[in-house]
Structure 1
C-alpha cells in the first residue's frame, strides 16, 4: 500500500469513528458543512483525501483537532467530547460608526454545550476598532439575545429605526443610556428621543480564527 492510500484509509477510519461517536451520518456531515454528499462518501470510502481547509472544518464540527482525523491513534487515548451545539453566524456589527446589519446567514460554529450560555445565541462579526483593545476588528462576537444588560456590560444595539447596529459598552447615568467605545479616540453615543436605540443582546465572548 502506498503512502497516499494509507492516508486515505486513516482519514476514512477516523471519520467513521467520529461520526459514530457523535451519532451523525455522512449525510448529516455533508448537509451541516455544505459539502457535496458524493465528496464525503469518497472520503468515507478512502477513495479521495480532503483538502486541509475541509479537514479543519470537520475537526471544528466534531470538536477535535485536525490530527484526530489525519493520524492513526490508539483507541484508548480518545476521551468523550462534550455535546456540541451549532451557533449561527449572522451578518456584521460595527465597532466604529454604525453600519447596516445584513443578517446574511454565513454558517455555523460548533461549540461545547457546557460552555454555551442558555437562551438564543448567535455570532456577529465585529467591524471597526472602536472597541479595541477589548474586541479586535474581525472577531466573531457571541451574542445572547436579551433586551437589557447591566451597567458596564457590552451590548449589541440597534440604531436609526432598527436599520443599523453597533457594539458598545452600556453606561447608565442619571436616567440616560450612553453607548461607550472602549477606544478613547471614538466619541460616545448618547441615546435620546431624537437618537433612539434598542439593545438586542449581550456580548458574551469573542473568538478570532488565525
Structure 2
C-alpha cells in the first residue's frame, strides 16, 4: 500500500535497527569478546538441535528382521551428533564406492537393488551360492550375491583389503543386507558351513522371540 521508495526506506530502517546489535560482535573491545564467547557457548548448547548425523544414520534396530549380536551396538559417546559407521547387525551398512571407472555405485546402492543381498568376495562366492540355493529351496527366499573383487568382470569393484576395511570383517567374511541398507547378519571370518549358518540365521529371523520387545 506504500509507495515503493517509502517501503524500501522503511524496510531498510527496520533491518538496520535489527542488525545493529550484531555489529557489537565484531568489536575489538572487551565487550565484543564477551559477546562472542556467549554466542559460542549458546551455539554449543544447541548443537544437538542442528547436528543430528548420529541420530539420522546411526540408529540401530534391536528386534525384527535382524540377527543382533550379543555385544552392544557400537556408538559414539556423542551418539546424537556423531555417526560411527559399523556393520553391526541392525545398523545401516557403511558407505563405500565401487572402484569401477566412471561408476557412482555405492554399497548402499548395491543393497537397494534387491530385497536381500549377501556381500562376499568373489573367492568365497561359489560356496555361498550353494548355501543361498538351499535357503531358496527351504524358505522360498531369493538372495542376490553380486560378484565383488578388483577384476574388470566384477559387478562391484572392491579389492579384498578395501572390502575387509569397509565392512569390518576379514576378506573371507560375509554380510547379509536388507534392501533398505540395514545389516541383517554378518560372519566376520570365514564360515566353515555356509548352508548351516544361513539355516540358523533364518530360523532366528523368523523366530517369534525375535519380534518381541
Which TM-score bucket, shorter chain as reference?
under 0.3
Higher helix share: 2
Q: Which has the larger radius of gyration?
A: 2
Give the alignment's TM-score, normalised by structure 2.
Answer: 0.23
Higher strand share: 1
- Relative contact order, CA 8 A, sep 6+: which one is greater? 2
